Amino acid sequence: MHTHRHTLFLLAVGILAACISCSSTAQLSNLPASNTGADSAKYDWAAQTGKYLESIQSKEIFLRQFFAEMPKGGDLHNHLTGSVYAETYYDIACMDSLYVDTLSGRLYSKGTTPSTPDAIRLLPDYINSRHMLKVKLIDQWSIRNFHSYNRNIPQDEHFFNAFGLFGAAAGNHMATLINELKKRAVHENVQYLEIMGTSPSVSEVEMDKIFGESYYQSINKKLLDAIQSADTDRIRSVIDSIVRAWEQDSTWKNKGLAYGKLIDSLDASSIADTNIVTRYLAYASRKSEPLTVLAQLHIGFVASNDTTSKVVGVNIVSSENSEISMSHYTTHMLMFAVLKEKYPQVKTSLHAGELTLGLVKPEDLDGHITQAVYIAKADRIGHGVGIAFEKSSTSLLKYMKENSIPVEINLTSNEFILGVKDNEHPLPLYVKAGVPLVISTDDAGILRTNLAEQYVLLVRRYGLSYPQIKQLARNSIGYSFLNENEKQRLMEKLEREFEIFEKKIANDY
């Protein structure tokens, strides 16, 4: 029942709750003031700040100015490679002299010479001399200038395809990418980043070397046969037997510890402002073969269980509506269930319900968030857009509220990938049910956005008040996967930052 979440600290943080009006744009209200217990002078600063925000609610440029300066706490849902802007990948590709297919926009790994006639080699001096080539590639590697009428693929496919286009520039420069996110956090007055950095490396050859010839193929077939049977007890039993064997093999378990040390070394190699606190989520790609998914998840759980590592949780990523993602969804949730039983202290945040009507068949919209919550025992839900299509959404929402299972809201991402925004978005539904929320960016680089813009959209579309906005920033620390002492330290820092910000707003405006 997740009773461990009900600590005194989280009670102090509170849960975002509000009433929904019947107007075309949902108005969120009735959130308790966030400065209870503060002295009168501080409360006046907050009250005046709130009045100013109310006065600029319909003025987008003023909102941008306001939220550019406001302390934002943390960003709990962001993918490292998708959060880096395309300009950085272009510069890396030129410095590494990578080949690029000018028609598709795909980069080729260092040392690879493609045979396609549309390939050219990027060179260091192209950084400042090939403007139109750079413009074209940025458009292909992000949603900039995307118009569905002049593209032959839908928006969601354009988004997910981008990762494969610029990927060759990312792998050898992870510290550089982390550095960009840290510098942006400083610029945006963000105190904490929880980053989905890189997935654990798993190969058939390596697993055969550890466990014996043809191990991968035989065990993966065993999993696939269980999936084909649609017998959840059988699937769970097979998963459990595989994990028990891995747990008894020190060579394999050491891969988990090594993965944690790799992430720590990448973080230490980034040179940006050390005041930005960073932690990382391990993840598996749900489009992989089932044994690969299970192996990546197990490595992630082992790494997260090591309290000396900066890996603090596990996730599962990639498009939720792909064929293998849909057909293996329950199996993936059972993988989390088995691993959670063996590592109960490890936190998980699951992409679930990143679906909407029309993207898949109506009946396929039901059950994803339900399974993530009840079977996988997720500590947080990423996106959760499909909540209204769950058959038992009312009881599910009640359970999420009572067990403090927050939803990571990604407004720009949901608008572009799913076409969901304004009153079609479930944010008001979550708020009315009292489910805690955090606001995050998802893939700021591909989406050409930032955390400040997400707050602008919250106020413009849903009329959030300043106390509500402030509570969301606090939630981003309170529902992070930091330990309680680190949460308390960051929360105190956030409150000091709010005091400085409110005094400035009150004095200037």
Which of helix, strand or coil describes residue 75?
Answer: strand
Q: What is the pTM of this model?
A: 0.90
Specify the pLDDT at position 275: 87
What's the token pair of residue 384?
């959760």
Distance separating alpha carbons of residues 214 and 217, to the nearest angstrom: 6
Do the beta carbons of residue 312 and residue 347 sit within 8 Å?
A: yes
Specify the pLDDT at position 41: 55
Q: Which helix (H) or strand (E) holds 312?
A: strand 311-317
Specify the pLDDT at position 214: 97
Q: Looking at domain 74-82+174-497, which of 3.10.310.10, 3.30.465.10, 3.20.20.140, 3.40.1110.10 is its CATH number? A: 3.20.20.140
Helices 484-508 and 40-55, packing angle to 10 deg: 70
Q: What is the DSSP string of 151-193?
A: -SS-HHHHHHHHHHHHGGGTGGGHHHHHHHHHHHHHHHT--EE
Specify the pLDDT at position 13: 39
Where, residue-wise, is CATH 3.20.20.140 in the chain?
74-82+174-497
Specify the pLDDT at position 77: 98
Residue 89's closest CA among 202, 173, 187? 173
Do the beta carbons of residue 81 and residue 92 sit within 8 Å?
A: no
Q: Which helix (H) or strand (E) holds 280?
A: strand 277-285
Do the beta carbons of residue 420 and residue 411 sit within 8 Å?
A: no
Do the beta carbons of residue 461 and residue 421 sit within 8 Å?
A: yes
Please calculate the CA angle 317-323-328 and round it to the nearest 5 degrees. Answer: 65
Q: Which helix (H) or strand (E) holds 330?
A: helix 329-342
Do the beta carbons of residue 66 and residue 53 sit within 8 Å?
A: yes
Specify the pLDDT at position 271: 75
Q: What is the pLDDT along the chain (509 residues), one digit of tens a residue?
A: 444 444 433 333 343 333 333 333 333 433 323 333 344 455 689 999 999 999 999 999 999 999 999 999 999 999 999 999 999 999 999 999 999 999 999 999 998 989 999 999 999 999 999 999 999 999 999 999 998 665 678 899 999 999 999 999 998 999 999 999 999 999 999 999 999 999 999 999 999 999 999 999 999 999 999 999 999 999 999 999 999 999 999 999 999 999 999 999 999 998 766 789 999 999 999 999 999 999 999 999 999 999 999 999 999 999 999 999 999 999 999 999 999 999 999 999 999 999 999 999 999 999 999 999 999 999 999 999 999 999 999 999 999 999 999 999 999 999 999 999 999 999 999 999 999 999 999 999 999 999 999 999 999 999 999 999 999 999 999 999 999 999 999 999 999 999 999 999 998 88
Specify the pLDDT at position 12: 38
Burial of 398 (0-12, 13-18, 19+ CB in 10 A): middle
Helices 290-305 and 250-269, packing angle to 10 deg: 70
Residue 412 makes CB contacts below 8 A (sequence gap 6+) with 441, 442, 447, 449, 453, 454, 457
Specify the pLDDT at position 126: 96
What's the token pair of residue 221?
């077939």
Distance separating alpha carbons of residues 322 and 320, to the nearest angstrom: 6
Specify the pLDDT at position 53: 97
